[in-house]
C-alpha cells in the first residue's frame, strides 16, 4: 500500500526551483492539497532560526528536502567553499529540526557527485565509499553525502525515517540556462541556438568531449522521488537514473542537430572534463519502488529546446 501522501502536510524545500517545480506539480496530480514551499526571501535555510520558523509555519508530516546550491563544473570550481558549507549546513539543520519536530518521513536528495571519481560503470550504490569524488565537485558531493550518513545514524539512534535518493544529471524545461552556472545540456542548447541566431560558424565546448554522462528527464525524476516517498523506507541509498550513457561529444552533435546548428564544434581541452564516466545501475529503484524512466532522451531534449525557444531565448 505504502504511504498515502494525499492526506499529509508536505514541506518541499527548493520547491520553486527546477526540480522542485515538477515535484510540486506531481504532488498536486496525486491529489495533495497541503504543500508548503518556502520562499528563499523569507526562509534562509543556512540559518537555524529560519529553519525553526519554517517547521513552526509549515507543520509538516513529510519533508522533501530538495533545496541546495547547485551548478556546473565552472561554478563548483569557483566557489567550492560555498558549495560545501551551504549544502552541508542546510541538510544537517533541516534533518535535525525535522527529527525534533517529529516528522513522519524525511526524503533527502543526494547527487551523482557523491560517487568516487573512478567508480566502476555502471555505478552501484555499494560503490559509494570506494574512493574520493571527482575534484571539481567533491566539496558539493561530499556535503550531500553527509546527508546519507546523518540519515542512517538518525535511523539507528532515533528510529527516524529518513531516505536518501541520488539522481543523475537532470535536464528539462525550466532548467538553468545561465552559461556561468548551468549544466551541460542547457549550456549547449543556449550555445547552439545563439549561434544559429547570430549566424556564427563555430561554438566552443569545455573539455575533450570524451567524458560520458547519463541524464534523467526532470519529470521522471520528480515521479521517482515521490514513488520513493510513498514506498521506500530503508537505510540504503538509491540511484535514480535512466540507465544510459552518452559522450559529451555525442551529446553536442545531437543538440546541434536538434537545434539546427550546422557549424563547427571546437573543444577547449584546457578546461576540465569532470568525472570520466557516469552511468548508474538503476535496478534498486526498480526493485524497491518500481521506478523506471519513461521519457526517451531525444524526446526530452526536444521538449527542453522548445521550452527554451519560447521562454529563454
CATH number at residue 130: 3.40.50.720
Q: What is the DSSP letter of 308?
A: I
Q: What is the mean pLDDT of the chain?
A: 95
Query: How confident is the model at residue 272, as a pLDDT?
Result: 86
Contacts of 78 (CB under 8 A, 6+ apart): none
Q: How far apart are CA 6 and CA 106, in angstroms?
A: 16
When pLDDT is cut at 50, 70 and 90, the band that residue 1 belongs to is low
Residue 183 pLDDT more than 90? no
Q: Backbone phi, then psi, for 108, in 5-degree steps?
A: -100, 135
* pLDDT the model gives residue 277: 87
Tell me, yes or no, whether 148 lies in a domain: yes
Q: What's the predicted TM-score (pTM) here? A: 0.94
Predicted confidence band at 99 (pLDDT cuts at 50, 70, 90)?
A: very high
Average pLDDT over residues 238-252: 96
In a domain, 16, yes or no: yes
Q: What is the pLDDT of residue 294?
A: 97
The domain containing residue 53 runs over which residues?
7-171+214-243+277-294
Assess if residue 231 is contained within a domain.
yes
In a domain, 271, yes or no: no
List active site positions.
Answer: 140
Please state, as a whole number, how many other Cβ atoms lie within 10 Å of the Cβ of residue 284: 20
112 to each of 81, 100, 124, 141, 230, how far by Cα in Å? 19, 29, 11, 8, 22
- For residue 200, tell me if it sits in a domain: no
Assess whether pLDDT exceeds 90 at residue 74: no
Positive or negative CA dihedral for 52, 54, 57, 62?
negative
Does 263 reside within a domain? no
Count of the separate structural domains present in the chain: 1
Cell of residue 221, nine digits: 525524476
pLDDT band at 313 (very low <50, low <70, confident <90, very high): low
Within a domain: 61: yes
Cα radius of gyration rounded to whole Å, the chain: 19
Please check whether residue 86 lies inside any domain of the structure: yes
Amino acid at each position: 500500500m505504502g504511504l498515502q501522501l494525499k492526506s499529509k502536510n508536505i514541506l518541499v524545500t527548493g520547491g520553486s526551483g527546477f526540480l522542485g517545480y515538477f515535484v510540486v506539480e506531481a504532488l498536486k496530480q496525486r491529489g495533495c492539497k497541503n504543500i508548503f514551499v518556502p520562499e528563499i526571501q523569507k526562509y534562509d535555510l543556512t540559518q537555524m532560526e529560519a529553519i525553526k520558523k519554517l517547521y513552526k509555519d509549515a507543520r509538516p508530516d513529510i519533508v522533501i528536502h530538495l533545496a541546495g546550491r547547485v551548478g556546473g563544473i565552472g561554478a563548483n570550481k569557483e566557489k567550492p567553499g560555498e558549495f560545501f558549507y551551504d549544502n552541508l549546513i542546510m541538510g544537517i539543520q533541516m534533518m535535525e529540526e525535522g527529527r525534533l519536530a517529529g516528522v513522519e518521513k524525511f526524503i533527502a536528495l543526494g547527487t551523482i557527485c557523491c560517487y568516487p571519481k573512478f567508480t566502476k560503470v555502471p555505478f552501484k550504490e555499494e560503490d559509494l565509499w570506494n574512493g574520493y569524488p571527482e575534484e571539481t565537485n567533491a566539496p558539493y558531493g561530499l556535503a550531500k553525502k553527509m546527508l546519507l550518513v546523518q540519515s542512517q545514524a538518525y535511523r539507528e539512534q532515533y528510529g527516524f525515517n529518513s531516505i536518501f535518493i541520488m539522481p543523475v544529471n537532470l535536464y528539462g524545461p525550466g532548467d538553468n540556462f545561465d552559461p556561468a552556472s548551468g549544466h551541460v545540456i542547457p549550456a549547449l542548447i543556449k550555445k547552439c541556438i545563439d549561434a544559429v541566431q547570430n549566424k556564427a560558424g563555430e561554438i566552443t565546448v569545455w573539455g575533450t568531449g570524451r567524458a560520458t554522462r547519463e541524464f534523467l528527464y526532470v519529470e521522471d525524476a520528480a515521479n521517482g522521488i515521490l514513488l520513493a516517498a510513498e514506498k521506500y523506507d530503508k537505510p540504503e541509498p538509491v540511484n535514480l537514473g535512466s540507465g544510459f550513457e552518452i559522450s559529451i561529444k555525442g551529446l553536442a552533435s545531437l543538440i546541434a542537430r536538434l537545434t539546427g546548428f550546422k557549424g563547427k564544434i571546437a573543444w577547449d581541452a584546457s578546461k576540465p572534463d569532470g568525472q570520466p564516466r557516469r552511468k548508474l545501475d538503476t535496478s534498486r529503484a526498480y526493485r524497491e519502488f518500481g521506478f523506471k524512466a519513461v521519457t526517451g532522451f531525444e524526446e526530452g531534449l526536444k521538449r527542453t529546446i522548445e521550452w527554451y525557444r519560447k521562454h529563454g531565448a
